């Protein structure tokens, strides 16, 4: 919507940076007088104080007796007419679900038009808000088809553009007489019709291009009463992007379009082709309106401007001596409100956002009077903060909060967090809610998805308005990330890791980083190892049982080719992730299958389970003592020879202890629910087709929902080279959801790579 009609306001937020540009070169703006006294309307009534409006109100125009606003209520636009005399409000009909209605007001008229779309075309309903009890007037424009477009309301005349049979566009003036629609087409407008504007109720300004070159523009001033062109003049420099042309009894004003994005105002006398060129700075959507011997200008829609710009303000320039006066701090739209007045949807630092009337004062200079205010400020005022001093990402998030006095639509809040030791940063741009509260939510990952390490951090908050109005707030502090480390974590974080063993090397990858880079098509991010160490080729099998020695970090067990079991106690240090290995015991080659990580006995310590060549299952209970981490073996039962893979999963379904899953030779996966005494309930079939995977491993809670999950990867001849993630459901009968495929880690393994 252009400056000719007050812009509809949808509150949007964005982050901007920059400094205040220089003021216009032709003059340094003074400050316009702002009246706080009574307001004389065109009907002679007086208003002692501005009206109060809902915060999200948008202004749709005004007339002698009142003004039109809209706001959202329960997801529906509500249109209201407010009378100057007594502040009474009239709600306009909302229309139906199949025929939505929106409303526009005309210039210096109490008539409001309701615009409805029907399957056959548009219907316009006119309401005279200045005379109670008058029946609405219906203007049916369905004869123009669905190609017609509403332009504006001129008194009781609806101005539309419509495509003609020859492919061109014509301007139609629609009115009603004796209940019938009267359609008058404006003649003498060759070429391509552009925007249509209006500053007075009796004259419409039509932009058009007489040739196929739409950058060459002319303005045709159309007398509404006769539907004839009374003046036709060039719009020097206007170009195809010019949206606004203002007209008074003596002058025209429009914005020049430049290739370099300059904001240039053109002013010309009526009846003369020559125009004055006034450079103002940079910017688009420059709007203008006449105020007696002054022309007011500003970048319409400046509430949502992405940069700081002095043209976001409404400024008036004298046509007599070139003096400039700043009228408002922000402008969204403006309309003519009489020969010596304009009505502006704008804002000031003092009053906030609202509707302002600008008139000529006793000395001829502009005077600003608030008409109606939403109470919505345009500057920030920080009133309090709540920033945690610790963060435990195994239990929740880091959620600092800053409270401001009120919601400001143009405000943005940037939160920066830095890890003191490494210097790595996390940044989030957040915004206020309607109560003025701004909250950041950090789930404990750096960009790319990698979990943040425990340790000391600093934070910094910067709050500003994107248009640069008002103070900039900066606050900073420190906090500590701590809490429980991941049971299957091999770094100093609360997130599990996945181990890849290929040949002689073992590498750890953060599961969050793997998750964050799962897209199967380019461009892709590639997860990188948190650490990688050598010397693991001596082992034919690894077990990741979690913490077996009472320390904070997860450990690894390795069985060598001689059947000796070795333990590698985790340190959490990516530079040296394990302490020197220590010997656990011999004879472990007796087990064809070996797994660990579930607490099968209910004592809070991870246990080991081995299956020998005869299919007998044996339990090695964890002791919690790193020097002797497991007790002697205890026979659990037989019949496990049918399985070719066993994996300890942790507690899958909320039972008394950890569980196991086992795969038979036919690829069927079975669940063995732990009873808490080292034995298991009767097995439950939970799916088939699992023989397509070469390895299946559990690393704990990947999805951070409190339920254990599985990773699985295919071997030679697999259906694809993706990593499959089976998230836990918490239901024992169907403990895993359908797999999610992660495609960009296949380069990490080969035919002999195992996952742990």
pLDDT at 714 over 80: no
Taking only the tens place, the pLDDT of each residue in 176-188 is: 999 999 999 999 8
Average pLDDT over residues 146-164: 90
| Ranges 35-44, 192-201, 213-222, 670-679, most confident | 670-679
Q: Tell me the C-alpha distance between 613 and 627, whole Å.
A: 28
H/E stretch holding 514 reads helix 511-516
Give the C-alpha separation, 748 to 743, whole Å. Answer: 11
**In this predicted structure, what is the pLDDT of residue 213?**
85
Q: Residue 301: its pLDDT value, please?
A: 75
**Which pair of structure tokens corresponds to residue 731?**
């239901």
Q: Is the pLDDT of residue 560 over 60?
A: yes
Distance between CA atoms of 2 and 573, rounded to whole angstroms?
61
Round to whole Å and give the CA distance between 355 and 347.
8
SS3 651: coil
Q: How many angstroms separate the Cα of 32 from the Cα of each of 37, 265, 296, 369?
A: 15, 20, 12, 11
**What's the pLDDT band for 74 if we cut at 50, 70, 90?**
confident
Q: Which residue has the tokens 């009907």?
A: 43
> Which contiguous run of DSSP H or E holds residue 462?
strand 455-465
pLDDT tens column, 189-205 = 888 888 898 877 789 99
Give the pLDDT confidence of 638-679 residue by residue, as tens digits. Answer: 999 999 999 999 999 888 889 999 999 999 999 999 999 999
Question: Are 446 and 424 in contact, with CB atoms under 8 Å apart?
Answer: yes
Is a pLDDT exceeding 80 seen at residue 436? Answer: yes
Distance CA 467, CA 347 (A): 12
Cα–Cα separations (whole angstroms), residue 608 to 167, 320, 530, 543, 636: 82, 94, 27, 9, 12
C-beta of residue 348 within 8 angstroms of C-beta of residue 53: no
The whole-angstrom separation of Cα 262 and Cα 595 is 71
CA angle 499, 502, 507 (to 5 degrees): 35
CA distances from 48 to 55, 87, 370 (A): 21, 11, 10
Helix (H, G, I), strand (E, B) or coil at 151: strand
Percent of the chain predicted with pLDDT > 70: 89
Residue 93 structure tokens: 């009909």
Pairing mode, if any, of strands 390-392 and 473-482? parallel
Q: What is the pLDDT of residue 518?
A: 59
Kindly give, in sequence order, each residue whose CB lies less than 8 Å from that of residue 275, ignoring residues fewer than 6 positions away. 236, 266, 267, 268
| 397 has a pLDDT exceeding 50 | yes
Task: State the pLDDT confidence band at 240, using cuts at 50, 70 and 90.
Answer: confident
Contact between 686 and 738 under an 8 Å Cβ cutoff? The reply is no
Give the pLDDT confidence of 308-326 residue by residue, as tens digits.
Answer: 899 999 999 999 999 999 9
Task: Flag whether pLDDT at 12 surpasses 50.
Answer: no
Q: What is the dihedral of CA 44, 45, 50, 56, to 10 degrees?
A: -90
Could you tell me if 235 and 247 are in contact, meaning their C-beta atoms sit under 8 angstroms apart? no
Calpha distance 718→681 (Å, rounded): 32
Rounded to the nearest integer, the mean pLDDT of the chain is: 86
Mean of the pLDDT values across residues 278-296? 91
Residue 750 scores a pLDDT above 70: no
444 DSSP β-pair partners: none
Residue 302 pLDDT greater than 50, yes or no: yes
Higher pLDDT, 60 or 31: 60
Which has the higher per-residue pLDDT, 393 or 749?
Answer: 393
- Helix, strand, coil shares of the chain, percent, nearest 5, are 5, 50, 50
34 pLDDT higher than 50: no
* Contact in structure between 570 and 578 (CB atoms under 8 Å): yes
pLDDT at 11: 23
Mean pLDDT of the region 519-545: 82
Question: What letters, b where the CB count within 10 A reaches 16 and e where it falls short, cover 530-547?
Answer: bbeeeebeebebbbbbbb
Under the banding of pLDDT at 50, 70 and 90, the label for residue 41 is very low
Could you give the C-alpha distances from 704 to 63, 107, 599, 635, in angstroms and in order?
Answer: 59, 59, 20, 35
Look at residue 382 and tell me whether its pLDDT is greater than 70. Answer: yes
701 neighbors 709 (Cβ within 8 angstroms):
yes
Burial of residue 73 (number of CB atoms within 10 Å: 0-12, 13-18, 19+): exposed
Assess whether pLDDT exceeds 80 at residue 17. no
CA distances from 558 to 535, 612, 646 (A): 11, 17, 17
691-729 CB burial, b ≥16 within 10 A, e <16: bebbbbbbbbbbebeebbbbbbbbbeeeeeebbbbbbbb
Helical (H) or strand (E) element with 513: helix 511-516
pLDDT higher than threshold 60 for residue 296: yes
CA–centroid distance for 741 within its chain: 27
Helices (H) and strands (E) in the chain, counts: 1, 61
Considering only 25-29, 55-59, 449-453, 480-484, which range has the smallest mean pLDDT? 25-29
| Pairing of the two strands 497-502 and 473-482 | unpaired
pTM (two decimals): 0.77
Q: What ranges make up the beta strands (E) of 276-351?
A: 276-282, 286-291, 294-299, 314-318, 324-328, 330-336, 341-348
| 217's tokens | 């523009």
**What pLDDT, on the 0 to 100 scale, is given for residue 747?**
63
Q: What is the pLDDT of residue 644?
A: 96
Check residue 502 and give its pLDDT.
Answer: 86
pLDDT band at 18 (very low <50, low <70, confident <90, very high): very low
Burial 197-217 (b: 16+ CB within 10 A, else e): bbbbbebbbbbbbeeeeeebb
User: 690 pLDDT exceeds 60?
Assistant: yes
Strand 401-404: give its sheet, edge to edge. Answer: 382-386, 401-404, 437-439
CA distances from 530 to 479, 502, 612 (A): 24, 16, 35
- Is 63 in contact with 360 (CB distance < 8 Å)? no
Nearest Cα residue to 404 out of 379, 374, 430: 379
CB-based contacts of 362, cutoff 8 Å, min separation 6: none
Q: DSSP string of 614-643? A: TS-EEEE-B-S-TTS-BPPPEEEES-GGGE
C-beta separation of 483 from 493 below 8 A: no
Question: For position 46, what pLDDT does the model report?
Answer: 44
Name the token pair of 6.
């007050």
Q: Is the dihedral of CA 264, 268, 272, 276 positive or negative?
A: negative
Residue with tokens 């403990």: 735
pLDDT at 401 over 60: yes
CB 565 within 8 A of CB 556: no
Sheet holding 149-154, edge to edge: 149-154, 157-163, 169-177, 180-185
Per-residue model confidence (pLDDT) at position 403: 98
């Amino acid at each position: 919507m252009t400056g000719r009609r007050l812009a509809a306001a949808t509150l949007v937020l964005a982050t901007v940076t920059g400094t205040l540009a220089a003021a216009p070169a032709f003059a340094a703006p003074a400050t316009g007088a702002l009246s706080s006294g009574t307001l004389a309307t065109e009907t002679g009534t007086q208003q002692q104080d501005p009206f109060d409006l809902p915060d999200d109100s948008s202004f749709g125009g005004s007339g002698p007796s009142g003004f039109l606003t809209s706001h959202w209520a329960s997801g529906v636009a509500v249109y209201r007419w407010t009378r100057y005399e007594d502040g009474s409000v009239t709600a306009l009909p909302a229309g139906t679900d199949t025929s939505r209605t929106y409303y526009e007001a005309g210039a210096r008229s109490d008539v409001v038009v309701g615009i409805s779309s029907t399957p056959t075309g548009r219907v316009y309903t006119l309401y005279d808000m200045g005379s109670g009890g008058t029946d609405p007037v219906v203007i049916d424009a369905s004869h123009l088809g669905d190609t017609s477009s509403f332009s504006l309301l001129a008194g009781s005349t609806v101005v539309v553009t419509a495509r003609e049979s020859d492919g061109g566009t014509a301007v139609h003036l629609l009115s009603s007489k004796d209940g019938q629609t009267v359609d008058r087409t404006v003649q003498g407008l060759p070429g391509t019709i552009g925007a249509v504007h209006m500053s007075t109720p009796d004259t419409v300004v039509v932009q058009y291009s007489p040739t196929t070159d739409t950058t060459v523009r002319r303005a045709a001033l159309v007398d509404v009463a006769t539907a004839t062109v009374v003046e036709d003049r060039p719009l020097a420099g206007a170009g195809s992007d010019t949206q606004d042309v203002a007209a008074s009894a003596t002058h025209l004003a429009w914005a020049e379009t430049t290739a370099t994005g300059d904001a240039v105002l053109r002013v010309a006398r009526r009846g003369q082709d020559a125009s004055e060129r006034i450079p103002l700075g940079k910017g688009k959507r420059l709007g203008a309106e006449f105020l007696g011997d002054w022309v007011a200008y500003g970048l319409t829609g400046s509430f949502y401007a992405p940069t700081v710009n002095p043209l976001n303000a409404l400024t008036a320039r004298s046509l007599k001596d070139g003096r400039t006066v700043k009228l408002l701090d922000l402008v969204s739209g403006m309309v003519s409100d009489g020969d010596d007045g304009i009505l502006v949807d704008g804002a000031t630092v003092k009053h906030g956002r609202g509707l302002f009337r600008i008139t000529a004062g006793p000395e001829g200079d502009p005077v600003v009077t608030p008409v109606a205010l939403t109470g919505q400020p345009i500057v920030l005022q920080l009133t309090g903060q709540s920033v945690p001093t610790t963060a435990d990402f195994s239990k929740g998030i880091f959620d600092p909060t800053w409270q401001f006095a009120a919601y400001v639509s143009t405000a943005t809040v940037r939160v920066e967090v830095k890890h003191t030791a490494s210097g790595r940063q996390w940044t989030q741009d957040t915004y206020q809610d309607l109560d003025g509260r701004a909250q950041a939510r950090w789930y404990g990952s750096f960009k790319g998805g990698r979990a943040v390490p425990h340790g000391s951090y600093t934070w910094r908050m910067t709050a500003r308005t994107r248009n640069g109005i008002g103070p900039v707030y900066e606050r900073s502090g420190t906090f500590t990330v701590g809490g429980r480390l991941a049971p299957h974590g091999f770094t100093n974080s609360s997130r599990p890791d996945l181990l890849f063993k290929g040949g002689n090397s073992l590498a750890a990858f953060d599961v969050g980083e793997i998750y964050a880079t799962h897209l199967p098509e380019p461009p892709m991010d590639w997860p990188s190892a948190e650490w990688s160490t050598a010397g693991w080729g001596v082992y034919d099998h690894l077990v990741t049982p979690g913490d077996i020695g009472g320390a904070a970090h997860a450990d690894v067990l390795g069985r060598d080719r001689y059947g000796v079991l070795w333990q590698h106690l985790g340190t959490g240090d990516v530079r040296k992730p394990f302490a020197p290995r220590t010997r656990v015991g011999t004879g472990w080659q007796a087990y064809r299958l070996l797994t660990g990580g579930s607490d099968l006995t209910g004592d809070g310590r991870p246990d080991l389970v081995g299956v020998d060549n005869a299919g007998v299952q044996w339990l090695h209970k964890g002791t919690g003592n790193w020097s002797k981490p497991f007790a002697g073996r205890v026979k659990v039962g037989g019949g496990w020879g049918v399985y070719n893979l066993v994996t300890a999963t942790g507690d899958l379904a909320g039972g008394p202890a950890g569980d196991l899953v086992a795969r038979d030779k036919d690829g069927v996966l079975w669940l063995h629910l732990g009873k808490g005494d080292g034995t298991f309930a009767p097995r439950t079939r939970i799916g088939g087709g699992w023989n397509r995977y070469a390895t299946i491993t559990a690393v704990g809670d990947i999805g951070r929902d409190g339920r254990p999950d599985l990773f699985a990867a295919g071997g030679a001849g697999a259906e694809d080279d993706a990593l499959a993630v089976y998230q836990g459901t918490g239901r024992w009968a169907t403990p895993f959801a359908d797999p999610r495929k992660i495609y960009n880690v296949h380069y990490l393994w080969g035919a002999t790579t195992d996952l742990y």
